[in-house]
Chains A and B, each alone.
Chain A
Amino acid sequence: MSPEGFRNEPILELRRAPARESLLEALRELDSQLPLEVPVLIGGERGAVEGIESTDPGAPERLVARAGEAGEEDVSAALDLAERGFREWSTRSAAERAEALRGAAARLRERRLELAALQVRECAKPWPEADADVCEAIDFLEYYALEAVELERGRELVQVPGERNTMRYAPRGVTAVIAPWNFPLAIACGMTAAALAVGNAALLKPAEQSPGNALALVEALHESGVPREALALLPGYGDTGAALVRDRRVHVIAFTGSAAVGLEILRLAAETPDDQGHVKRVVSEMGGKNCVIVDADADLDEAVPEILYSAFGFAGQKCSAAARVLVHEAIADRLAHRLTGAIEVLEVGQADDFASEVPPVIDREAQERVLRYRDVAGDAIAASARDVPEEGWFVAPSLAVGLPEGSEVNREEIFGPLLSLTSVIDVDEAMDVIASLPFALTGGLFSRSPATVERVAARSPVGNLYINRGITGAMVGRQPFGGNRRSGVGSKAGGPDYLLQFVEPRVVTENTMRHGISVEGTGTGNP
């Protein structure tokens, strides 16, 4: 069931020169305003703008934003206000809230070019992906606005004479949103919009690498009618997030990020002190070790570019990115050969250059992590891109071939441009490998056999399986996104079930008999 009237925000047609020029113009304009100031924002009051600095990963000396760091007192003050904000916001109708969300979407749409440029600078997200990220944020606002109105209608229940059963959904309360930097606007927006759409208050703790993006979102929502008390911006590091997670005033925690942090949140949130009148709900989207199966009958002309983009687009820093290729032995050499040649010509460069295919990774820590895994891969590295810039957190995209199954490179999430290729005797062996991995986020299959497609679809544990195409780029409403097993709790962002994570169901059963007379008539007993 998809909400009627929803349409994905069209991405820019970047194959046209004027569209590209408009973005470069927006970037020049943005550069003249840097660094941005991102305050702690509680009840609309601007607090500190000190403690965090976000820089350009491609030119770390370039300061993009100076942000405040929300401490425990800030968190506490924000929660006090949020409880008040919740009381007001939750009494509004879904239609009114939807109006505010749509207004925010319109605000983001007006600022599209500028916001894409901001992602280029703050996260080194390449243009096409930065633009798509802004569009996805708009999509989340529009989609959840429609879904929330739909959800307010409740669900149909079985009715018998003499009673009336209704099922409705009520907001849970204050929601802590702990967002990642890799989709600095879209994911922060998706989680915040979902919480707000159904009537919750939201406290947004953006990643310390991307506070500038989060500010744009909060501004758009405030300007469009979301009460200042019902939405606060709490930039900070892990401590800020932990303070939110622990507080008994928090009802829902929406998190997207690493498995380590996600599991820690689940553990902390499960502690339910006596003075906490509810059980916390955690929506946790974590990592992946995403595999692409390439069967012997695959079309390599399609598979090579799609695998390449899935693995190295945005330097592999998407939870959906391809980490492994499991290829049928009959074509393994051929695929490895073509991938090698294709990786060697990948353009590694600054995100603001349309020619760049692989930007730097987000920070020094990420660079060191990926390089550590590269060292583990050692002689198995069969290909690396040439001409990697010196300055900035660049890592040459690489292909490792034939690593043993137990290698950390094959089992752990690297979150960077390192792809591992393994030859398998058939698709079933590939499925066994996938079954042995703890993650189950995305997966891919290249095959031209309908039977193989069906077999893999039936056995694959992943949340999002893509056939004969790349495995990243889920679209709101079209590919509800989220992982299973240790990749997530099974919620599907941008899908019809997502809002259910943010509400509690309430059923009311009314006796409609009055002294032996049914209010609505007895009917025939079968309404």
Chain B
Amino acid sequence: MRRVPKGYVSHVENELYEVGRSIHAAFPGKSRHPLKALDQKAMDMAAQDAELRAALFRFVDVTPACRNLDDLASHLTAYLGEVDERPPPLEAAMRMSATKPGRAALGAAAATGVRRMAHRFIVGETPSAAVRAIGRLWDHGAAVSLDLLGEATVTQAEADRYAERCMDALETLAAAAPDWPERPVLEADSLGPLPRVNLSVKVSALSPLLRPEAPDVGREDAARRMHPLLVRANELGAHLHIDMESVDTLEATIELVFDVLDEPDFADGPSTGVVLQAYLRESPEQLERVIEWATHTRRRPPIVVRLVKGAYWDHEIVEARQHGWTPPVFEEKAESDRNFEALTRRLLEAWPHVRPAIASHNLRSVAHAVAANRDAGREDRDLELQVLRGLGDELAAALADHGMRVRIYCPVGDMVAGMAYLVRRLLENTANESFLGDQQRGVPVDELLAAP
């Protein structure tokens, strides 16, 4: 581990501690909301026991495929049956499953549980259903990027459907956004205005043809559907963000981004963004490539680069191990964290050619970005901070309180099926970090802020 030498604390490091402590102090008090407290309890329980967490995730994952309450209860008890030490409430659940009425009751309770959990993470079943919640977040000083949950794309019809849903989301948000009150922090930085409407899209959902060993075919097919979305986003003044997924689609995604951005049609917009995953060993080179492009392009407005840790860590490690490859990701969390800070600094250097958006729930990483941005002599509004709905809500509130621009990545989709996708895609990989909720377990703030 790299330690700051004794007797020497950099200017940024000082500022970082100050910012971090201040944000930490602004965290809302623990759960005014009784339902939320209950959820939190279940999650705390799951967080402390890997087996229990696996059982819970497997259950949420299978929920949409269960045909009735009995089926739900059978799956739940089957997964719990594989947990060695069950807390008393779960023992009671196991006993209930012995009778048919017991299973019906257990199934109903479990279904309710999943729905409630879903409400924490999913902002609405459709964009129109989500509009009110999004408006409320805006009122409270947080912008949003919408993410459409759905099943994997294996057919052209499914890709078309996803593209239609994206189009609908753009239209719906664009229709609602003019009614939102003015929020200067969210609407402009010193480079110019920022769109109110912000949609994140997944390349893998835009084509069934995406294959790791043949990125061109899928890229072209996805680009065909991406094009009208960019055109419409441009007309509506909306921001389109291209998400990054696993390394299997990395090449296709990066090439697609550069291809469409170089199209003359889009020389003046829309505002777009890419994602940089700090857990990737190759991320520094990727960033250089983006910066190189951004420095020389005449395209406006500047590209947004969302810096994340990366949500496919388990997948990358397992795939690499099974094939005998060097994992493309750092294996130590601290390495990712250090790289995250290095990439943050590099991104800030590259301003105004790129707009940095730092997406993390790690107090240290966030405070570092704020401090480094200030150290570079920039205004706070030239830095965007992003969190995930359901996991970073309290951090978002604290950041908004500090007058920082914060954007919440909000999944939209079916409460049951969507929750299953979310578990698969996001929560499993962020579980260890986020469910533990170090800050909520009373870890001293200076420990949270210690250098990785």
Question: Of all chain A residues, which has the CB nearest B82?
Answer: A450
By the criterion CB–CB under 8 Å, are B247 and A355 in contact?
no
Which residues of chain B are near A10, meaning CB under 8 Å? 323-325
Kindly state whether residue B37 has any CB partner on chain A within 8 Å. Answer: no
Which residues of chain A are near B215, meaning CB under 8 Å? 15
By the criterion CB–CB under 8 Å, are B251 and A341 in contact?
no
Question: Of all chain B residues, which has the CB nearest A8?
Answer: B324
Kindly state whether residue B58 has any CB partner on chain A within 8 Å. Answer: yes
By the criterion CB–CB under 8 Å, are A9 and B154 in contact?
no
CB < 8 Å neighbour of A14 from B58, B61, B156, B212:
B212
Encode contact with A along B154-180: 1 for CB under 8 Å, 0 otherwise: 111110000000000000000000000
Q: How far is the CA of A308 from the CA of B211 in the complex (A)?
A: 13
Q: How far is the CA of A449 from the CA of B58 in the complex (A)?
A: 10
Q: In chain A between 288 and 345, which residues have their CB closer than 8 angstroms to a CB of chain B? A: 296-301, 304-305, 308, 330-331, 338, 340-342, 344-345
By the criterion CB–CB under 8 Å, are A345 and B61 in contact?
no
Given contacts A8-B324, A15-B247, A345-B209, contact A301 B214 (CB under 8 A): no
Q: In chain B between 67 and 102, which residues have their CB closer than 8 angstroms to a CB of chain A? A: 67, 71, 74-75, 78-79, 81-82
Question: Of all chain B residues, which has the CB nearest A135?
Answer: B324
Question: Of all chain B residues, which has the CB nearest A297?
Answer: B65
CB < 8 Å neighbour of A304 from B67, B75, B154, B325:
B154
Q: How far is the CA of A448 from the CA of B158 in the complex (A)?
A: 24
How many pairs, one residue from A and one from B, have CB atoms within 8 Å of each other in the complex?
A: 89
Kindly state whether residue B248 has any CB partner on chain A within 8 Å. Answer: yes
Kindly state whether residue A451 has any CB partner on chain B within 8 Å. Answer: yes
**Nearest chain B CB to A468 CB, angstrom units:** 11
Given contacts A297-B75, A347-B217, contact A341 B157 (CB under 8 A): yes
By the criterion CB–CB under 8 Å, are A342 and B66 in contact?
no
**Nearest chain A CB to B251 CB, angstrom units:** 7
Question: Of all chain A residues, which has the CB nearest B79?
Answer: A450
By the criterion CB–CB under 8 Å, are B78 and A449 in contact?
yes
By the criterion CB–CB under 8 Å, are B155 and A15 in contact?
no
Which residues of chain B are near A340, meaning CB under 8 Å? 155
Kindly state whether residue B213 has any CB partner on chain A within 8 Å. Answer: yes
Question: Of all chain B residues, which has the CB nearest A478?
Answer: B322
By the criterion CB–CB under 8 Å, are B213 and A15 in contact?
yes
Kindly state whether residue B208 has any CB partner on chain A within 8 Å. Answer: yes
Q: In chain A between 255 and 307, which residues have their CB closer than 8 angstroms to a CB of chain B? A: 296-301, 304-305
Kindly state whether residue A20 has any CB partner on chain B within 8 Å. Answer: yes
Q: How far is the CA of A278 from the CA of B143 in the complex (A)?
A: 83
By the criterion CB–CB under 8 Å, are A448 and B61 in contact?
yes
By the criterion CB–CB under 8 Å, are B216 and A342 in contact?
no
Encode contact with B along A57-91: 1 for CB under 8 Å, 0 otherwise: 00000000000000000000000000000000000
Kindly state whether residue A127 has any CB partner on chain B within 8 Å. Answer: yes
By the criterion CB–CB under 8 Å, are A297 and B71 in contact?
yes
By the criterion CB–CB under 8 Å, are B62 and A297 in contact?
yes
By the criterion CB–CB under 8 Å, are A13 and B325 in contact?
yes
Question: Of all chain B residues, which has the CB nearest A328?
Answer: B67
Kindly state whether residue A7 has any CB partner on chain B within 8 Å. Answer: yes
Kindly state whether residue A160 has any CB partner on chain B within 8 Å. Answer: no
Given contacts A299-B61, A301-B151, A301-B152, contact A355 B214 (CB under 8 A): yes
Q: How far is the CA of A263 from the CA of B323 in the complex (A)?
A: 36
Q: How far is the CA of A355 from the CA of B217 in the complex (A)?
A: 7
By the criterion CB–CB under 8 Å, are B323 and A341 in contact?
no
**Nearest chain B CB to A303 CB, angstrom units:** 10
Which residues of chain B are near A308, meaning CB under 8 Å? 154
Which residues of chain A are near B325, meaning CB under 8 Å? 10, 13
Kindly state whether residue A128 has any CB partner on chain B within 8 Å. Answer: yes
Kindly state whether residue B250 has any CB partner on chain A within 8 Å. Answer: yes
Q: How far is the CA of A345 from the CA of B214 in the complex (A)?
A: 14
By the criterion CB–CB under 8 Å, are B78 and A14 in contact?
no
Question: Of all chain B residues, which has the CB nearest A453?
Answer: B78
Given contacts A10-B325, A330-B67, A448-B61, contact A338 B78 (CB under 8 A): no
Q: In chain A between 1 and 40, which residues have their CB closer than 8 angstroms to a CB of chain B? A: 7-11, 13-17, 20
Q: How far is the CA of A497 from the CA of B323 in the complex (A)?
A: 24
Q: In chain A between 34 and 57, which residues have their CB closer than 8 angstroms to a CB of chain B? A: none
Which residues of chain B are near A448, meaning CB under 8 Å? 58, 61-62, 65, 75
Q: How far is the CA of A127 from the CA of B154 in the complex (A)?
A: 22
By the criterion CB–CB under 8 Å, are B155 and A345 in contact?
yes
Q: How far is the CA of A304 from the CA of B152 in the complex (A)?
A: 10
Q: How far is the CA of A451 from the CA of B73 in the complex (A)?
A: 13
Encode contact with A along B191-235: 1 for CB under 8 Å, 0 otherwise: 000000000000000001101111111000000000000000000
**Nearest chain A CB to B281 CB, angstrom units:** 13
By the criterion CB–CB under 8 Å, are A345 and B208 in contact?
yes
Q: How far is the CA of A450 from the CA of B247 in the complex (A)?
A: 31
CB < 8 Å neighbour of A299 from B65, B66, B157, B247:
B65
Which residues of chain B are near A305, meaning CB under 8 Å? 152, 154
**Nearest chain A CB to B409 CB, angstrom units:** 21
Encode contact with B along A330-373: 1 for CB under 8 Å, 0 otherwise: 11000000101110110100000011010000000000000000
By the criterion CB–CB under 8 Å, are A11 and B324 in contact?
yes
Which residues of chain A are near B323, meaning CB under 8 Å? 10-11, 13
By the criterion CB–CB under 8 Å, are A296 and B65 in contact?
yes
**Nearest chain B CB to A334 CB, angstrom units:** 10
CB < 8 Å neighbour of A20 from B58, B208, B213:
B213
Which residues of chain B are near A15, meaning CB under 8 Å? 212-213, 215, 247-248, 250-251
By the criterion CB–CB under 8 Å, are B65 and A354 in contact?
no
By the criterion CB–CB under 8 Å, are A7 and B324 in contact?
yes
Which residues of chain A are near B154, meaning CB under 8 Å? 301, 304-305, 308, 338, 341-342
Q: In chain B between 130 and 155, which residues have their CB closer than 8 angstroms to a CB of chain A? A: 151-152, 154-155
By the criterion CB–CB under 8 Å, are B157 and A296 in contact?
no
Question: Of all chain A residues, which has the CB nearest B218?
Answer: A355
By the criterion CB–CB under 8 Å, are B324 and A344 in contact?
no
Question: Of all chain A residues, which has the CB nearest B246?
Answer: A15
By the criterion CB–CB under 8 Å, are B213 and A9 in contact?
no
Q: How far is the CA of A342 from the CA of B62 in the complex (A)?
A: 23
Q: How far is the CA of A354 from the CA of B247 in the complex (A)?
A: 18
Which residues of chain B are near A304, meaning CB under 8 Å? 152, 154
Question: Of all chain A residues, which has the CB nearest B75?
Answer: A449
**Nearest chain B CB to A453 CB, angstrom units:** 10
CB < 8 Å neighbour of B78 from A128, A299, A300, A450:
A450
Which residues of chain B are near A296, meaning CB under 8 Å? 65, 67
Q: How far is the CA of A344 from the CA of B156 in the complex (A)?
A: 9
Q: How far is the CA of A330 from the CA of B64 in the complex (A)?
A: 13
By the criterion CB–CB under 8 Å, are B213 and A449 in contact?
no
Which residues of chain B are near A341, meaning CB under 8 Å? 154-158, 208
Given contacts A15-B212, A297-B66, A345-B208, contact A449 B74 (CB under 8 A): yes
Q: How far is the CA of A20 from the CA of B213 in the complex (A)?
A: 8
By the criterion CB–CB under 8 Å, are B213 and A14 in contact?
yes
Q: How far is the CA of A372 from the CA of B13 in the complex (A)?
A: 74
CB < 8 Å neighbour of A17 from B65, B74, B251:
B251
**Nearest chain B CB to A276 CB, angstrom units:** 45
**Nearest chain A CB to B69 CB, angstrom units:** 14
**Nearest chain B CB to A505 CB, angstrom units:** 35
CB < 8 Å neighbour of A127 from B75, B151, B155, B213:
B213
Q: How far is the CA of A305 from the CA of B251 in the complex (A)?
A: 20
Which residues of chain A are near B212, meaning CB under 8 Å? 14-15
Q: How far is the CA of A354 from the CA of B252 in the complex (A)?
A: 14
CB < 8 Å neighbour of B81 from A14, A17, A354, A450:
A450
Which residues of chain B are near A298, meaning CB under 8 Å? 65
**Nearest chain A CB to B154 CB, angstrom units:** 4
**Nearest chain A CB to B374 CB, angstrom units:** 39
Q: How far is the CA of A298 from the CA of B251 in the complex (A)?
A: 30
22 A–B contact pairs at CB < 8 A? A8-B324, A14-B212, A15-B213, A15-B215, A15-B251, A127-B213, A128-B213, A296-B65, A297-B65, A297-B66, A299-B61, A300-B151, A301-B151, A301-B152, A301-B154, A305-B152, A340-B155, A448-B62, A448-B65, A448-B75, A449-B75, A451-B78
Nearest 5 A/B pairs, CB to CB: A341-B155, A10-B324, A15-B212, A301-B152, A14-B213
Instruction: For the A-B complex with A340-B155, A342-B154, A355-B211 known, give 4 more contacts whose Cβ atoms are closer than 8 Å.
Output: A10-B325, A308-B154, A341-B157, A344-B155
